[in-house]
Amino acid sequence: MPSPFNMPDEFVRGFFKSGQTLLQAYTGAAGHTADAPAAPLSSAKLPALALAQAQAHYWQQQMALYMGMVASATGQKPTPAVEPERGDRRFSADAWRENPWYSVLKQTYLLNSRLLNDMVEAAGVGEKEKHKLRFYARQFIDSMSPANFAATNPEAMKTAIETQGESVRTGFANLLEDLKRGRISITDENAFEVGKNVAVSKGSVVFENELFQLIQYAPLTEQVAERPLVIVPPCINKFYILDLQPENSFVRYAAEQGQTVFLVSWRNPDAELGHITWDDYVENGAIKAIEVSRTISGADKVNAVGWCVGGTILSSALAVLRARGDESVASFTLLTTMLDFSDPGDLGVFIDEQGVSQREQTIGKGGIYSGGELGFVFQTLRANDLIWPYVVNNYLKGGAPQAFDLLYWNADGTNLPGPMYAWYLRNMYLENNLCKAGRLSMCGTQVDLGKIDIPSYIFGTQEDHIVPWKGAYRSTQLVGGDTQFVLGASGHIAGVINPASKNKRSYWTDGTLGDDPQAWLETAKSQPGSWWTHWNNWLQAHAGKQVAAPKKPGNAKFKPIEPAPGRYVAKHPPEVMGA
């Protein structure tokens, strides 16, 4: 199994259920699932034929591997029967190529992995079950890599010999320390401190309630846009991903462009907030932040930005405001946000009626969903990047993870209130109700995303493993008003945090909007550099006239409470298991 740390029930149940499904697929019981009725007799032989072809190919490669072993024994340099995929860093050490024993071990593992993948692809089940099979097969395959075990990892063995066993002792100590904290260390957490070398942009907390603090950042220009910028980050992580360090701070960039930036800093819920609902996040969170920001700035309207689930909360808030006839928002930006959950990517493998019902029964009326469990789920989406390299480095080799601000933030997870989380699971991921006009009622009113008739900037990232870009694109077909879609390179985090000053990566714009995201991509234009500059140019049209920068934060009604980043971001409540 990938990790004993904060492993949610959904993962354990899904892992064993997928194994059972794969077994049934090859014992004549496949296809009897909710999304895949039993296959007709005419197609029943197809999985068996595909399996036979996979097995034949497997044994051909095994024979090639055997012949390579014979050639190696006679002093010849054999041609590998199989090679790791490009970008696979697990077998980069020279010993995996030059040492015959390790070379055979590596190739045997790769051949067995490919056979299991071929079996999954040949299984006669529906696409939904196939997706689950792929995911859990990948978890099993990744976990069984010979690089993950001390006795079969040449670098770990070499380090143990060179340090006379000291690396083994240190690795065991690292494991015990991580077991105490309930998660794998992926960065040097002592290298960073919130407010000291991350989240350092100057500002003040100008409002707070039990759910969030509102930060107003100090202006960096003499003139600012009349309409302020209100940012709603995800509530499943701390806000400072948008303000890591000055050179990669989205907050600082926006201020440098003449924006007065207000940002929501969600409170990390403990048992005291175990009653909080989705409506609370909408009404007492996003809507309240918009109201206070507008009051302080004295502007007619604000511009709003939402990221990930923060974007879902913001969109819900805008739908509620439009239903009330409120026109206090001039435009909104959604960053890697899902409004149509019909294709949730790998996160969908964790969602089914049984799991959602269990969460509703255990924490749906009150309680806390552990941030540790949620963090583990996200790690499994990229296990060979966020789990196994650290198992090898920290435990097998006795090393220490390097200091990296983004991974420090990644490890600084938050809990979620049980009622909010259970409602979100059912109405978004399980039943996909938000994108259906009038299906949901929030804050006492029915919501319709199509009534949000203001300009929107929808941003997705090409390699996003949390919000697949085609899912982000579908928002363009749901909201009203003029909209444009921009696709950035890289993934969910790195694709968003792409500073304009570094001018890296690329993005795509100006495709033909329609129902088909692939058609949009085929007509889009590739642009070098950061999407930040493109977004800023778009925002200027909605920012209002230039006015003198405020001389101090807040106003007579909302006075500064404390300096940014505030108390809420630094608060670490005890981990509470959700079920």
Per-residue buried b or exposed e for 171-191, using 16+ beta carbons within 10 Å of the residue's own CB? beebeeebeeebbbbbbeeee
Q: Are 321 and 328 in contact (CB under 8 A)?
A: yes
Given the residues 235, 308, 435, 443, the one annotated as active site = 308
- The CB-based long-range contact list for 111-117 (8 Å cut-off, 24+ gap) reads 111/58, 111/61, 111/62, 111/65, 111/81, 111/82, 113/141, 114/58, 114/82, 115/54, 115/55, 115/58, 116/140, 116/141, 117/141
- CA triple 276-277-279, angle to 5 deg: 130
Strand pairing of 525-528 and 546-548?
A: unpaired
From the CA atom positions of the chain, what is the Rg in Å?
26
State the residue for tokens 């959602």: 356
Residue 181 C-beta-side C-alpha neighbours within 13 Å: 15
**Would you call 571 helix, strand, or coil by DSSP?**
coil
Q: Are 224 and 261 in contact (CB under 8 A)?
A: no
Tell me how far the alpha carbon of residue 166 is from its chain's centroid: 36
Nearest Cα neighbor of 17 from 4, 35, 5, 33 is 33
Phi/psi for 344 (5° steps) reads: -85, 10
C-alpha distances (whole Å) from 342 to each of 30, 359, 398, 485 are: 24, 21, 43, 19
3-state SS, 88-120, equals CCCCCCCHHHHCHHHHHHHHHHHHHHHHHHHHH
Helix axes 9-25, 127-143, angle to 10 degrees: 110
- Residues forming beta bridges with residue 413, ordered by sequence position: 237
Q: Are 217 and 566 in contact (CB under 8 A)?
A: no
435 classed as catalytic: no
Q: Are 569 and 238 in contact (CB under 8 A)?
A: yes
Q: How far apart are CA 392 and CA 186, in angstroms?
A: 11
Q: Are 470 and 517 in contact (CB under 8 A)?
A: yes
User: Which amino acid is present at 254?
Assistant: A
Q: How far apart are CA 76 and CA 96, in angstroms?
A: 17
Catalytic positions are 308
